[in-house]
Structure 1
Amino acid sequence: MPSRYTLGGDEHLFVEVSESMSLDAFFTSILVTKELADRAIPGVTEICPANASYQVRFDPDVISVADLRAELEEIEAGIGDHDATLETRVIEFPVYYGDPWTHETLMRFRDRHQDPDSTDLEFAARANGYADVEQFIEAHSATPWFVSMVGFVAGLPFMYQMVERSKQIQVPKYLRPRTDTPRLTVGYGGCFSCIYSVRGAGGYQMFGITPVPIYDPEQQPAHLRDFMIFFKPGDIVKFRPVDRAEYDAIVEAVDRNEYQLPTAPVTFSLKEFEADPAAYPTTILEALDGTR
């Protein structure tokens, strides 16, 4: 469908690229907003890309909504049926799956769940046709994920699995939201994985927890010294399962400001991914070789 433009009051223009999430829709959103930022147009004050849409805040005394829309339409037309590439980074995040803290929390809220007799991991494994939790964890952690947007609460990344659509993990959210979710929980709802940046309410299934903070207003951890929020749209994430001993060791290393997330620069090509969605993600992950 053509992009749909909607005003949000006098200062916001919302652009819906697609009614459904896809890497193509995400790419259009991220490339249009990147080009808009590069143009540094007077009157454009904020740019917020999302999963399959984006929003622009502007000063109507400096640029009219008609001129802003014309600029955006020109940028999107220039992208067209593109061989889009994105200069980004791939990051390996440790995850302690089936940890005791999210387990204690999910057990407190079984009355809000579709299957009170199963854990979230067991429910998700069965819903996606995996024989057991171990196979499901392998499926969740083996392939990379795109950070398609950051928000809802400060620093929380929404991540979209880089696989063929037919192989994407799909898990419904809780029937009713929880009033508590541990900080740094790795969650899942619909087709999106996420990391809860702070403790609070939530409705996503809880699979585990990462020992690495992703948001800190005081910017204490070494990897947050440049900015209080770690993730950016376009980041690529690879989850790595760890046990309790390694989890504790990483927590201690983070506290000493000695832990370094394995990170490598990569160029992602949408055309190459669409040509071979099974093999291409492996080439992306090869960039992490030698960073651990």
Structure 2
Amino acid sequence: MKTRYTFGGDEHIYVEMDEEMSLDAFFKSLSMSNAVRDAKIPGVTEICPANASFQVRFDPDVTHPDEMLKRIQELEAKAEDAEKRMTTRIVEVPVFYRDPWTHETLMRFRERHQDPQGTDLDYAARINGYDSVDAFIEAHHSAPWFVSMVGFVSGLPFLYQLVEREKQIEVPKYVRPRTDTPKLTVGYGGCFSCVYSVRGAGGYQMFGITPMPIYDPRQQTSYLRDFMVFFRPGDIVKWKPIDRAEYDRITAEVEANTWSPRTAEVTFDLAEFNADMADTNKKLMEALDDA
């Protein structure tokens, strides 16, 4: 991987690890972000990590842009040698696939889609070579997902599927974005799944909806009282298919502040994952059963 550095005006430096997303690029980005933070370079005001890159905002009156670039580049070797291992958590996220709300929305915006005659799930299953929507849904929830970035919209996680590259689901975004997407829609664009934290415009394919709030600026949800955003980079997600009855039950418990997501502490080691993905994923998913 060849790291690319570019300026964003006088106050930003953008550092891109690779042109395509990979866990190696993510871990290097995370290590470099941490290294910049630990270095306490004078003038740095903000560090914003992304899927395989990060951006540094700084005050050019404190540290000249050329000097800031030099200081950041000097940290790259340290990031290359950093241990690609982290203690994190796995979270079970319930998903009501083929729900009525995203279905109504996707049919309303059918003229903006690659396949106006079907549904988003029909299209995604077909172009990924699955014989049925049920088989495609199983592929979506049968392996864990890695939260590589949180942002774009407040609290929205980007999730990267923990499988071999050739097995990864890939689905293009809508031809033209929608002006509406239900809150907590489980979407898909490119190689990333996501959860829409708020209602609004969007272009990702819509597969279902979760009853689990992931963003609460008022911090009234029981498990969001300490911080308004649930997900953080490095989290691992296990999707759990649910039906309408389960969706309604969880929704009622969320409103009563008696529900919280199942979580478990796990260790993710990139070398172990690359050596045996199936066994690593099995251990990650089983950690929730032991919690």
Moved runs in structure 1, 4+ residues, more than 6 A?
Answer: none
How far residue 81 of structure 1 moved from its aligned partner, in angstroms, is 5.6
**Partner residue in 2 for 1:178:** 178
User: Is 1:125–1:132's contact at 8 Å kept on the other side of the alignment?
Assistant: yes
CA displacement, residues 228-280 of structure 1 (integer Å, 9 cap, x when unaligned) = 11111111111100110111111111111111111112221111111112321
CA displacement, residues 171-204 of structure 1 (integer Å, 9 cap, x when unaligned) = 1111111111000000001111000011111111
How far residue 10 of structure 1 moved from its aligned partner, in angstroms, is 1.5
How far residue 19 of structure 1 moved from its aligned partner, in angstroms, is 0.8
How far residue 83 of structure 1 moved from its aligned partner, in angstroms, is 4.5
- The one-letter code sitting in structure 1 at the alignment partner of 2:29 is S
Q: Does 1:214 align with 2:210?
A: no
Q: Does 1:253 align with 2:246?
A: no
Q: Distance in 2 between matches of 1:74 and 1:90?
A: 34
**Partner residue in 2 for 1:194:** 194
Q: What is the alpha-carbon root mean square deviation over aligned residues?
A: 1.5
User: Is 2:106–2:119's contact at 8 Å kept on the other side of the alignment?
Assistant: yes
User: Structure 1 length normalisation: TM-score?
Assistant: 0.95
User: Is 1:98–1:208's contact at 8 Å kept on the other side of the alignment?
Assistant: yes
How far residue 63 of structure 1 moved from its aligned partner, in angstroms, is 2.7
> After the TM superposition, which of the residue ranges 38-47 and 233-242 deviates more from structure 2?
38-47
**Partner residue in 1 for 2:70:** 70
User: Is 1:46–1:57's contact at 8 Å kept on the other side of the alignment?
Assistant: yes
How far residue 2 of structure 1 moved from its aligned partner, in angstroms, is 2.2
User: Is 1:164–1:278's contact at 8 Å kept on the other side of the alignment?
Assistant: no
**Partner residue in 2 for 1:115:** 115
Q: Does 1:94 align with 2:110?
A: no
Secondary structure (helix, strand or coil) at the match of 1:285 reads: helix
Q: Distance in 1 between matches of 2:274 and 2:169?
A: 18
State the identity as a percent.
65
Q: Distance in 1 between matches of 2:135 and 2:285?
A: 20
CA displacement, residues 33-65 of structure 1 (integer Å, 9 cap, x when unaligned) = 123223444322111111111001112233333
Q: Distance in 2 between matches of 1:283 and 1:100?
A: 34
- The one-letter code sitting in structure 2 at the alignment partner of 1:161 is Q
**Partner residue in 1 for 2:145:** 145
Residues 281/72 of structure 1: CA separation in 2 closer, same or farther (3 Å cut): farther
Q: Does 1:231 align with 2:231?
A: yes
> After the TM superposition, which of the residue ranges 177-186 and 38-47 deviates more from structure 2?
38-47
Q: Distance in 1 between matches of 2:145 and 2:47?
A: 23
Q: Distance in 2 between matches of 1:217 and 1:135?
A: 37
Q: Distance in 2 between matches of 1:156 and 1:15?
A: 22
Residues 34/284 of structure 1: CA separation in 2 closer, same or farther (3 Å cut): farther
Secondary structure (helix, strand or coil) at the match of 1:107 reads: helix
Q: Distance in 1 between matches of 2:148 and 2:99?
A: 26
Secondary structure (helix, strand or coil) at the match of 2:290 reads: coil
CA displacement, residues 203-236 of structure 1 (integer Å, 9 cap, x when unaligned) = 1110000001111110110111111111111111
How far residue 90 of structure 1 moved from its aligned partner, in angstroms, is 1.0
How far residue 27 of structure 1 moved from its aligned partner, in angstroms, is 1.1
Q: Distance in 1 between matches of 2:67 and 2:266?
A: 35
Consecutive unaligned residues of structure 2, counting only runs of 5 or more, are none
User: Is 1:83–1:271's contact at 8 Å kept on the other side of the alignment?
Assistant: no
